[in-house]
Amino acid sequence: EQTPARQHIHDSPGTIHDSLQQRVVKGRSLAQLDGSLSDGNVVMWAHIPALIEDVDATALGILGDFVPMAIGQALGLAAGGNSLDNTIRIVKLVPTKWVLLDIYIDAIDRGFGHGRVNMFAEDGTLMATASQSCKARKWKN
């Protein structure tokens, strides 16, 4: 909880984003998105305190849907994407409240982005992997 909270481009009241806490370990702030490309890797802790006590497969499915948020990080722009598909593979569930999301953008081309995320428990256990494709979009201010 000592790492900085993730900034959001837009408020989205009444959505899952209201209930989700995110702490960025590796990634740029909105002010640092200067159009320069990055390695496409974002690492952040995530927690959904209002919805669950401990993380379950459903929560991992929700968190696995956050691959598009790394599109803007990879491009250095206020950008993201709309999900086209999401495949999750549950490895092992262990008691944890926070999940470390290690997100990689593998490709962005012709308006589409593709990436993957490894999801780890607080004790380092790999709980799940997910992959996702999205329609890449630059957000309006």
Domains of the chain: 16-138 (3.10.129.10)
Q: Which residue has the higher pLDDT, 19 or 66?
A: 66
Measure Cα distances from 84 to 77, 80, 88, 101 in Å: 21, 13, 14, 20
Closest CA to 76 of 114, 127, 40: 40
The rounded distance, in Å, linking the Cα atoms of 110 and 93 is: 37
pTM of the model: 0.87
Q: What is the pLDDT of residues 102-138, one digit of tens each?
A: 999 999 999 999 999 999 999 999 999 999 999 999 9
